[in-house]
């Protein structure tokens, strides 16, 4: 069998699953094979509820065992929260939340700037702004918007980037980053996926040079790029089917 890194980490949306969707059955089975042989981390801007619906439920439906889940590291909101499985249950290891004032400032800036730029939509699928504890997330069409609608809303990314720049200008003490297809994430300064991966290395004792990361946005402006810039060996994928194919090759399947 091929040697594997001590830990393989993944972005979630468009890397392990379609955006805001459950990990497909075939991918879940490949992840189980990976978990049988090494530590696995999923890191994303989503909250733990999304991780439950997209990752945990999929693995459990695919027959995931407690031993496999014990080797899974979940890092919602870019690693400002960290969850591990032990004793048959999931436990929060830590959470680093924004203050009430920081949350209020972020929500106000998002609302004002989106309306000023004509990006506050009347037809949405769920709330536009979500408090994720350690992160405030703006989703132009709501969290449950269908993939096709999100792709059509901003095919070039210009609308999202314009809003990101406008919000960052009025929130100099916070970090404003592009998230998913139509989303913007606001955290404390210095919070990105590189921050989460550094936290993971500290928690596990696994070196950055012993990890492998898969992401779909590893270009310089992408939200996966900070992991590559950190020096972690990284693989850019074009979607979850590409990830699955690469994992099968990695595992010798």
Using one digit for the tens of pLDDT, what is the confidence trace for 4-60?
999 999 999 999 999 889 999 999 999 999 999 999 999 998 889 999 999 999 999
Residue 1 has pLDDT above 70, yes or no: no
| Per-residue pLDDT at 20 | 84
| Residue 183 main-chain phi, psi, to 5 deg | -115, 155
- CA-based nearest residue to 199, from 52, 103, 95, 59: 95
The C-alpha atoms of residue 232 and residue 27 are separated, in whole angstroms, by 23
Portion of the chain with pLDDT greater than 90, in percent: 80
| CB atoms closer than 10 angstroms to residue 190 | 8
Which pLDDT band holds residue 236 (cuts at 50, 70, 90)? very high
Which pLDDT band holds residue 222 (cuts at 50, 70, 90)? confident
Helices (H), 54-205: 57-61, 66-69, 100-116, 147-153, 158-170, 193-204
| Residue 44 main-chain phi, psi, to 5 deg | -160, 165
Which pLDDT band holds residue 218 (cuts at 50, 70, 90)? very high
- Tokens 């449950």 — which residue? 144
CA-to-CA separations, 125 to 50, 147, 168, in angstroms, rounded: 15, 11, 25
User: All domains of the chain, ordered by start, with CATH?
Assistant: 7-96+191-251 (3.40.50.1000), 100-188 (3.30.1240.20)
The C-alpha atoms of residue 174 and residue 102 are separated, in whole angstroms, by 8
Cβ(66)–Cβ(56) under 8 Å? no
Residue 223 has pLDDT above 90, yes or no: no
Q: What is the mean pLDDT of the chain?
A: 94
Where is pLDDT greater, at 220 or 164? 164
What does the block give as tokens for 2? 């091929």
Cβ(15)–Cβ(237) under 8 Å? yes
The C-alpha atoms of residue 233 and residue 235 are separated, in whole angstroms, by 7
pLDDT one-digit tens code per residue, 75-122: 998 888 999 999 999 999 988 889 999 999 999 999 999 999 999 999
Residue 177 has pLDDT above 90, yes or no: no
This prediction has a pTM of 0.83
What does the block give as tokens for 5? 């890194």
């Amino acid at each position: 069998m091929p040697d594997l890194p001590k830990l393989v980490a993944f972005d979630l949306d468009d890397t392990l699953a379609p955006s805001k969707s459950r990990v497909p059955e075939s991918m879940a089975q490949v992840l189980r094979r990976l978990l049988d042989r090494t530590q696995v981390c999923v890191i994303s801007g989503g909250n733990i509820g999304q991780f439950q619906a997209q990752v945990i439920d999929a693995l459990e439906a695919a027959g995931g065992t407690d031993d496999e889940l014990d080797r899974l590291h979940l890092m919602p909101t870019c690693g400002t929260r960290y969850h591990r499985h032990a004793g048959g249950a999931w436990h929060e290891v830590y959470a680093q939340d924004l203050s009430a004032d920081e949350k209020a400032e972020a929500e106000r800036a998002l609302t004002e700037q989106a309306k000023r730029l004509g990006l506050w939509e009347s037809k949405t699928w769920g709330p536009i702004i979500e408090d994720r504890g350690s992160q405030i997330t703006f989703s132009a069409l709501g969290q449950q918007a269908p993939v096709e609608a999100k792709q059509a809303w901003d095919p070039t990314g210009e609308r999202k980037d314009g809003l990101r720049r406008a919000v960052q200008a009025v929130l100099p003490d916070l970090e404003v980053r592009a998230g998913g297809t139509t989303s913007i994430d606001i955290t404390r300064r210095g919070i990105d996926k590189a921050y989460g991966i550094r936290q993971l290395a500290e928690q596990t004792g696994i070196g950055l040079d012993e990890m492998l990361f898969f992401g779909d946005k590893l270009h310089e402006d992408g939200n996966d790029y900070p992991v590559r810039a950190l020096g972690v060996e990284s693989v850019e994928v074009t979607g979850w089917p590409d990830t699955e194919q690469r994992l099968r090759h990695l595992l010798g399947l």
